[in-house]
Structure 1
Amino acid sequence: MGKSKFRTTELSNPAFEMDGLRFITIKTPHLKGRGDICVFVPKGEDHQSLPVVTLLHGVYGSAWVWPFLGNAHGITQRLIDQKKIPPMVLVMPSDGLWGDGSGYMNHDGKNFEKWIAEDVPDAVFENIPEVSEESIHFIAGLSMGGFGALKIGAKYGEKYQAISAHSLITEVAQMTLFVEEPLDAYKQAERAREDVLTAIIENRENLPRLRFDCGLDDELLDYNRTLHQELKKNQVPHTYEEFVGSHKWEYWQEHLEDTLIFFKDVLKKSC
């Protein structure tokens, strides 16, 4: 491998890793500093060019919440052991740690979007031997992370094979339900960076496979239903599902399985 794209990189010592979890910290101009990435590598020898699933967290969280609040690594390993999905690498970055949540948007001179779409895949490629240039990439997220996954996945459709989201924020104004920062702090020059529907419509010619779901007791349910209806009206192919549950980790733990099996099905069709 050639020269690193990052000035500094810290990688966890394999001697101290547990349950297949590794940590990477890189310094990037897009964050004007350092960013953290938690990576899960499944059990097994001689894994090569494994599919990569980027999981984006919601407000208040960081790189650790998907494994240590959501048991994402445990769920993934169980599905692999049950042969419901092939071995996959989970990549769980921080959102850049701005305020209560960056929204994975660009502000304060930092490019949180490119941090996810460019830096994170590059850091994983450089530091995880089980990942190669041939690895297929997927992106998913919950709440604010679902907002980021759909916008970034649509804009960077050439990078991702499919997109999935749980309980997603669909438009930037909904951030005010969760954060203390003023809405003006999130304003973008382009509407596609503030609104999932606009991002999808503007990039529909290169849109990856798409699914999302929401709980029946979730405060974001009506917004998710509206997005579903607007996508139908605009004839954008997608899958939308509703399940019992609310805006809580118990819901996301249960339905991460739907995301991973969806990605498995996309993999099968692409082979």
Structure 2
Amino acid sequence: MSKFRTIHISNPQYELGNLRHIVVKSTNLKGRGDISVYVPEDRTQQRLPLVLLLHGVYGSHWSWAYHAGIHKKMDEWIASKQVPPMALAMPSDGLWGDGSGYVPHTTQNFEKWIAEDVVEAVLETILQVDEKSPLFIAGLSMGGFGALRIGAAYHEKFKGISGLSSITHISQMALFVEEELEHYKQHNPVDESVLETLITHKDKLPKLRFDCGLQDNLLEANRELHQQLERNAIPHIYNEFPGEHNWEYWGEHILETLQFFTN
């Protein structure tokens, strides 16, 4: 029996590029949410690793597929054995304003939508994934903030966390959105900071990595996070690569994240 009042998945007969699409009614969203799912070509495989892949501001569930071609790249990377077969779940952030921040708001809980509802919706609809599938979370920019923070807060669920060009504090949302920062304010200030969340759960964290482009406007914030994690003796991998805050960078460097998860 489904945990949702309504859940629908696209008809495989009309599937393109090994992408499936789910729409589910979520109590945390107070409405419906969308999830795109990449499933490898070989449908006989079972218990595939599942990666939650979060988009940034202005985006939605289709962003990784139709800005970065992640589904086509996955076919190529799996065929060339650069990554093992795995499923990718790419949810909308809840479509609040320019970006929800993947945090709880007054009436909607965008954090629980990702950490609970998205996972359950995939388990209910994708036969190649089950409750024993290894679970990972990653994202870019606002999605990096969501992945790093949610991955730490729900450390019992995830085996790995990764952020690309990540916002590291909710105050940095002001660089991208027109909504007032008051909407993103949390009851516990720890929940507004990647660093403080990681420190809070430092003894239980999954394996952790993040990276940033050398021409990215969030570079200094990511360097500061790296330095603070070192000072607090929190194991992690941090990389810098040439590139800006754009899809060219994310489409290329998501490969390091996927390899990190499965190595």
TM-score (norm 2): 0.99
**What residue number does 2:170 align with?**
172
Change (3 A) 1:12 1:45: closer
**What residue number does 2:203 align with?**
205
2:27 and 2:252 map into 1 onto residues whose CA distance is: 36
User: What's the CA shift string for 1:197-252, capped at 9, x where partnerless?
Assistant: 01100011210100000000000000000000000000000000000000000000
User: What's the CA shift string for 1:117-149, capped at 9, x where partnerless?
Assistant: 000010000000001111000000000000000
What is the 5 A alignment of 1:135-150? 135-150=133-148
**What residue number does 1:63 align with?**
61
Deviates more, 1:74-83 or 1:13-22: 74-83
The 3-state SS of whatever aligns with 1:107 is coil
Q: Does the CA-based 8 Å contact 1:151-1:192 persist in structure 2?
A: no
From 6, 18, 22, the counterpart of 1:20? 18
2:180 and 2:121 map into 1 onto residues whose CA distance is: 32
Give the C-alpha shift of residue 192 in structure 1: 2.3
From 200, 219, 222, the counterpart of 1:221? 219
**What residue number does 2:120 align with?**
122
Identity of aligned residues (%): 57
Q: Does the CA-based 8 Å contact 2:160-2:208 persist in structure 1?
A: yes
Q: Does the CA-based 8 Å contact 2:105-2:184 persist in structure 1?
A: yes
The 3-state SS of whatever aligns with 1:204 is coil
**What residue number does 2:151 align with?**
153
Unaligned runs of 5+ in 1: 266-271
Within the alignment, does 1:260 sit opposite 2:241 as a pair? no
TM-score (norm 1): 0.96
What is the 5 A alignment of 1:13-92? 13-92=11-90
User: What's the CA shift string for 1:45-74, capped at 9, x where partnerless?
Assistant: 411010001000000000000011011112
AA of the residue aligned to 1:30 = N
Q: Does the CA-based 8 Å contact 1:75-1:257 persist in structure 2?
A: no
Q: Does the CA-based 8 Å contact 1:211-1:240 persist in structure 2?
A: yes
Q: Does the CA-based 8 Å contact 2:28-2:108 persist in structure 1?
A: yes
Deviates more, 1:185-194 or 1:233-242: 185-194
The 3-state SS of whatever aligns with 2:97 is coil
**What residue number does 2:248 align with?**
250
Give the C-alpha shift of residue 108 in structure 1: 3.1
AA of the residue aligned to 1:222 = E
The 3-state SS of whatever aligns with 1:206 is coil
User: What's the CA shift string for 1:127-180, capped at 9, x where partnerless?
Assistant: 000011110000000000000000000000011000011000000110000000
Give the CA RMSD over aligned residues. 0.7
Change (3 A) 1:222 1:19: same
Unaligned runs of 5+ in 2: none
**What residue number does 2:109 align with?**
111
Give the C-alpha shift of residue 26 in structure 1: 0.4
**What residue number does 1:268 align with?**
none
Give the C-alpha shift of residue 85 in structure 1: 1.5
**What residue number does 1:101 align with?**
99
1:124 and 1:225 map into 2 onto residues whose CA distance is: 34
User: What's the CA shift string for 1:28-61, capped at 9, x where partnerless?
Assistant: 1100000000000011141101000100000000
**What residue number does 1:269 align with?**
none
From 179, 182, 185, the counterpart of 1:181? 179
- The number of aligned residues is 263
Give the C-alpha shift of residue 193 in structure 1: 1.6
